[in-house]
């Protein structure tokens, strides 16, 4: 059978990422230019600036991705692009870059949902046994997705307010740890103990999450301690907070695993690169898949992998209709 080679482009937030993926599982190259250094200084992403940086970088990232894969644009069978969810200006840079390539070189385009991309990171280096349950934990989303078979997605749980990653970032800000907060909390927590009395967020039998109560409890506790002139032990605070989030995630995955009788479980998205979460998940679930860190945070390889199913079904988008969809949701099987 002929090899299928897909060029994938991901610019939904603060990473300009382009990959070349062959036959679904083989990542020939992955080049990611992160804007973290710039946004570290201001404590968060500035959307307008992020779009401009994508514009500055995308062509170089593209060239390098082709070079590292040892291919030319004429070897590419289709281009995969993240159309949403994400920051509209950032998404538009990738979308318009892909439109241009498609029109110049007459290459078909596949539109990929960013969250479906995160789930498909599990296919890199793994063969999945179905039914499968995937927990997506990223900066903007916390969702439990049930898959009876490959590429069939049913949302069975979601956050009612903040996403897990967003909560990590906000608590890191309370502790003045800098941006992005998740990796900083991860690092500090390694030197701390669970000494602060914080609540377990929505630790009930449903499959939905809620992190806003825990976030408020962190604000309140830090304010109370400050008013009393008591210095916060950042490592202990990070550790107590992180345990609350991760044990809640584990509890929900356990309930869903039993309810849906799945054969395998995965955790994907930026927060899944958390070292404590990885350790705990591996201990609790024998059939767990957690992508390598470079494939759990935003990257184009996962977008390329996710595009293969649509390639096989000849599901290409008319480039005139291609646009950014900042609030895109996962399309479930029973939807049109």
**Residues near ligand KG4, by CB under 6 A:** 13, 138-140, 165, 168-169, 180-183, 186, 269-271, 273-274, 297-298
Residue 15 is a binding residue for Zn ion (CB under 5 A): no
Which residue has tokens 């599990």?
122
Select from 127, 166, 122 the least CA-distant residue to 295.
122
Is 137:271 a contact under the CB 8 Å cutoff? yes
Round to whole Å and give the CA distance between 260 and 283: 20
Show the beta-strand stretches assigned E in 85-198: 108-113, 132-137, 142-147, 154-158
Round to whole Å and give the CA distance between 317 and 165: 31
328 token code pair = 């895109």
Residue 299 is a binding residue for Zn ion (CB under 5 A): no
* Cβ 141 to Zn ion shortest distance, Å: 8
Identity of the residue, 15 or 309, whose beta carbon is nearer to Zn ion in the bound complex = 15
274 binds, among ligand KG4, Zn ion, none (CB under 5 to 8 A by kind): ligand KG4
With contacts defined by CB under 5 A, how many residues of the chain interact with Zn ion?
Answer: 2
* Cβ 266 to ligand KG4 shortest distance, Å: 14
Per-residue mark of binding to Zn ion, 111-150 (x: CB under 5 A) = ---------------------------x------------
Order across the sheet with 108-113: list the strands: 26-34, 15-22, 5-10, 78-84, 108-113
Residue 298 is a binding residue for Zn ion (CB under 5 A): yes
Cα torsion at 165, 168, 170, 171 (round to 10°)? 170
* Cβ 77 to ligand KG4 shortest distance, Å: 27
273 binds, among Zn ion, ligand KG4, none (CB under 5 to 8 A by kind): ligand KG4
Stretch that binds Zn ion, among 28-36, 76-84, 251-259, 291-299 (CB under 5 A): 291-299
Q: Which residues bind Zn ion (CB under 5 A)?
A: 138, 298
């Amino acid at each position: 059978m002929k090899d299928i080679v897909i060029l994938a482009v991901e610019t939904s937030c603060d990473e300009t990422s382009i990959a070349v993926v062959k036959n679904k599982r083989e990542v020939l190259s992955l080049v990611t230019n992160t804007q973290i250094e710039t946004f570290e200084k201001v404590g968060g992403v500035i959307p307008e600036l992020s779009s401009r940086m994508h514009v500055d970088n995308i062509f170089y990232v593209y060239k390098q991705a082709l070079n590292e894969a040892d291919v030319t644009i004429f070897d590419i069978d289709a281009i995969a692009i993240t159309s949403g969810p994400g920051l509209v200006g950032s998404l538009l840079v990738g979308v318009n870059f892909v439109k241009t390539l498609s029109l110049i070189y007459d290459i078909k385009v596949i539109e990929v949902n960013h969250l479906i991309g995160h789930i498909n990171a599990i296919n890199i280096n793994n063969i999945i046994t179905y039914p499968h349950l995937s927990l997506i934990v990223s900066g903007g989303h916390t969702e439990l997705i049930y898959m009876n078979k490959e590429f069939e997605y049913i949302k069975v749980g979601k956050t009612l307010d903040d996403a897990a990653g967003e909560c990590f970032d906000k608590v890191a800000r309370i502790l003045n740890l800098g941006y992005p907060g998740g990796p900083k909390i991860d690092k500090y927590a390694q030197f701390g103990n669970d000494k602060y009395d914080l609540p377990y967020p929505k630790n009930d039998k449903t499959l939905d999450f809620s992190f806003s109560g825990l976030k408020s409890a962190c604000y309140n506790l830090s304010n109370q301690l400050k008013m009393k002139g008591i210095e916060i032990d950042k490592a202990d605070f990070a550790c107590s907070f992180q345990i609350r989030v991760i044990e809640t995630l584990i509890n929900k995955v356990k309930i869903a695993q039993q309810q849906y009788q799945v054969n395998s479980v995965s955790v994907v998205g930026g927060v899944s690169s958390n070292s404590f979460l990885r350790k705990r998940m591996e201990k609790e679930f024998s059939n767990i898949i957690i992508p390598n860190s470079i494939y759990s945070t935003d990257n184009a390889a996962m977008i390329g992998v996710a595009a293969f199913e649509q390639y096989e079904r000849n599901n290409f988008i008319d480039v005139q209709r291609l646009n950014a969809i900042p609030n895109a949701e996962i399309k479930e099987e029973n939807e049109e």
